[in-house]
């Protein structure tokens, strides 16, 4: 949730209908997305902002039932081979936020994007419980339901709020097959500083739309997206239809989750730096980098890429470039479906036998000492090493 990227579009009465925010009527039931297409208001709007189908980008959608709970998470998948790129969207977005990128990545990776609780077409017993612990448990539950205890290699990709979830999961070391972490445009310092403005920003948005097309148009002209195609496929899943008022409103009630915001981002930088997997941070501007991350980046603890000419939703605004960066990260770190692919050619020509006073760790590009004292090297035949 980036304050700088959510300026509101001035409304007129024909484009967005704003009702009394104190209206205490019960929340309407969310109909299937396919039901939206039959409404008269939708058919009369310009083709430029007409919604696109998820099936043009993902191969499959499914509802994942979580055992011993009433939670059902909606999941989109694409691709049949390669490591799993598990995508976690930001607050107010949906799994379809990664749709165009998924189309580009599915030839070399398996892309999985879930609707988080309170978002998209997922349904839980408490959609307003957006604590970081609950969100992390939701992701773990979906992974468990999909893959059991034998998940292929996983790269977590998280945007904004989803980036916080990905970092917390990586830092906890609870996903055994986790091989990479990609965080999209969220750092602790900027996020924490923007929280005091978020209620005002959320209140400035149009509260209701006459049609999906009007919502798509607003999201591009005055909202958070810059890519019309991505908006056409993703915005519809961020809305729900109010039968009583005959209009659309936002699916996620972000205003009611304020009590959890601080927990999403507090301590995020240290958790990111401590995550024991290869890391990539994608930013829309260098001003977002806080002090601890600046030091960590200078020390080579993670890879950072500043993506130009984009807004907060990098994965939507420049989907092709985003997909290329993810695939390059996978290739650069030699992540295959069963983990990091290491060969003897990856190691130095002369590998040695290390004494017990020296620890070491194996990396994709060789061997690195982790203790700089009391070292003794003993060369061994055929390049094998043991401690």
User: Could you report the per-residue pLDDT of 124-178, keeping only the tens digit for each?
Assistant: 999 999 999 999 999 999 999 999 988 999 999 999 999 999 999 999 999 999 9
Average pLDDT rounded to a whole number, residues 94-113: 97
Given 97, 210, 312, 319, which residue is catalytic?
312
Q: Both 124 and 269 in a single domain?
A: yes
Closest C-alpha among 201, 205, 214, 161 to residue 183: 161
Q: For residues 32 and 232, what is the distance between their CA atoms, to the nearest angstrom?
A: 17
Q: Both 326 and 357 in a single domain?
A: no
What does the buried/exposed string (b/e) look like for 97-109 if buried means 16 or more CB atoms within 10 Å of the residue's CB?
Answer: bbbbbbbbbbebb
For residue 16, what is the DSSP state?
B
The answer to whether the Cα torsion of 8, 102, 156, 175 is positive or negative is positive
Average pLDDT rounded to a whole number, residues 88-106: 97
Q: Both 233 and 373 in a single domain?
A: no
Q: Both 117 and 174 in a single domain?
A: yes
User: Are 180 and 157 in contact, with CB atoms under 8 Å apart?
Assistant: no
Average pLDDT rounded to a whole number, residues 341-352: 49
Q: Both 120 and 214 in a single domain?
A: yes
Least confident stretch, 188-202, 293-307, 364-378: 364-378
Q: Both 299 and 374 in a single domain?
A: no
Confidence of residue 46 (pLDDT cuts 50, 70, 90): low
What does the buried/exposed string (b/e) look like for 11-45 if buried means 16 or more CB atoms within 10 Å of the residue's CB?
Answer: beeebbbeeeeeeeeeeeebeebeebeeeeebeeb
**What is the pLDDT, as a whole number, of residue 342?**
64
357 vs 295: which has the higher pLDDT: 295
Please say if 290 is a catalytic residue.
no
Q: Both 241 and 367 in a single domain?
A: no
Please say if 119 is a catalytic residue.
no
Query: How many distinct structural domains can be found in the chain?
Result: 2
Q: Both 360 and 328 in a single domain?
A: no
Tokens 């700089």 belong to 372
For residue 209, what is the DSSP state?
B
**What is the pLDDT, as a whole number, of residue 93?**
97
Q: Both 301 and 376 in a single domain?
A: no
**What is the pLDDT, as a whole number, of residue 372?**
35
Q: Is the pLDDT of residue 373 over 50?
A: no
Please say if 115 is a catalytic residue.
no
**What is the pLDDT, as a whole number, of residue 339?**
81
Give the number of C-alpha atoms closer than 13 A to the C-alpha of residue 134, restricted to the C-beta side. Answer: 17
Average pLDDT rounded to a whole number, residues 209-227: 93
Name the percent of the chain lying above pLDDT 90.
Answer: 69
Confidence of residue 222 (pLDDT cuts 50, 70, 90): confident
Query: How far out from the chain centre does Cα 127 lie?
Result: 18
Name the percent of the chain lying above pLDDT 70.
Answer: 76
Given 71, 94, 97, 160, which residue is catalytic?
160
Q: Between 161-172 and 258-265, two packed helices, what is the crossing angle to 10 degrees? A: 50
Q: Is the pLDDT of residue 38 over 60?
A: no
13 vs 183: which has the higher pLDDT: 183
**What is the pLDDT, as a whole number, of residue 369?**
38
**What is the pLDDT, as a whole number, of residue 273?**
97
CATH number at residue 60: 3.40.50.1820
Q: Is the pLDDT of residue 213 over 90?
A: yes
Least confident stretch, 9-23, 63-77, 166-180, 320-334: 9-23
Q: Is the pLDDT of residue 180 over 60?
A: yes
Domain encompassing residue 375 = 344-383
Q: Both 130 and 238 in a single domain?
A: yes
Q: Both 276 and 302 in a single domain?
A: yes
Confidence of residue 203 (pLDDT cuts 50, 70, 90): very high
Burial of 305 (0-12, 13-18, 19+ CB in 10 A): middle
**What is the pLDDT, as a whole number, of residue 289?**
76
- The Cα angle at residue 84 between residues 83 and 85, in degrees rounded to 5: 115
Q: Both 374 and 232 in a single domain?
A: no
**What is the pLDDT, as a whole number, of residue 341?**
73
Given 2, 185, 290, 317, which residue is catalytic?
185
Confidence of residue 45 (pLDDT cuts 50, 70, 90): low
**3-state percent breakdown (helix, strand, coil) of the chain, nearest 5:** 40, 20, 40
């Amino acid at each position: 949730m980036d304050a700088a990227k959510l300026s509101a579009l001035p409304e007129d009465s024909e484009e967005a209908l704003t009702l009394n925010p104190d209206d205490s009527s019960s929340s309407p039931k969310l109909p299937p997305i396919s039901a939206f297409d039959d409404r008269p208001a939708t058919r009369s709007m310009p083709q430029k902002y007409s919604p696109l189908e998820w099936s043009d980008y993902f191969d499959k959608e499914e509802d994942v039932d979580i055992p011993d709970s009433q939670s059902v998470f909606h999941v989109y998948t694409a691709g049949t081979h390669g490591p799993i790129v598990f995508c976690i969207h930001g607050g107010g977005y949906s799994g379809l936020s990664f749709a165009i990128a998924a189309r580009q990545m599915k030839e070399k990776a398996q892309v999985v994007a879930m609707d988080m609780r309170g978002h998209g077409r997922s349904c839980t017993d408490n959609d307003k419980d957006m604590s970081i612990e609950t969100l992390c448990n939701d992701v773990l539950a979906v992974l468990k339901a999909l893959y059991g205890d034998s998940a292929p290699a996983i790269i977590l990709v998280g945007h904004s709020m989803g980036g916080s979830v990905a970092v917390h999961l990586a830092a906890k070391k609870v996903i055994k097959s986790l091989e990479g972490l990609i965080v999209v445009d969220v750092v602790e310092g900027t996020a924490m500083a923007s929280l005091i403005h978020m209620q005002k920003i959320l209140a400035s948005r149009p509260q209701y739309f006459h049609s999906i097309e009007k919502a798509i148009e607003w999201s591009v002209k005055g909202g958070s997206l810059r890519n019309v195609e991505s908006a056409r496929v993703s915005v519809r899943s961020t809305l729900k239809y109010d039968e009583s008022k005959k209009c659309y409103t936002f699916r996620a009630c972000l205003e009611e989750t304020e009590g959890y915001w601080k927990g999403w981002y507090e301590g995020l930088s240290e958790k990111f730096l401590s995550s024991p997997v290869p890391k990539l941070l994608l930013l829309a501007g260098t001003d977002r980098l806080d002090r601890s991350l600046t030091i960590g980046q200078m020390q080579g603890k993670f890879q950072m890429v500043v993506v130009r000419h984009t807004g907060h939703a990098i994965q939507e605004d420049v989907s092709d470039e985003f997909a290329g960066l993810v695939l390059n990260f996978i290739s650069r770190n030699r992540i295959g479906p069963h983990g990091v692919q290491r060969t003897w050619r990856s190691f130095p020509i002369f590998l040695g036998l290390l004494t017990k006073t020296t620890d070491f760790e194996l990396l994709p590009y060789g061997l690195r000492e982790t203790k700089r004292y009391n070292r003794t090297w003993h060369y061994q035949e055929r390049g094998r090493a043991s401690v």
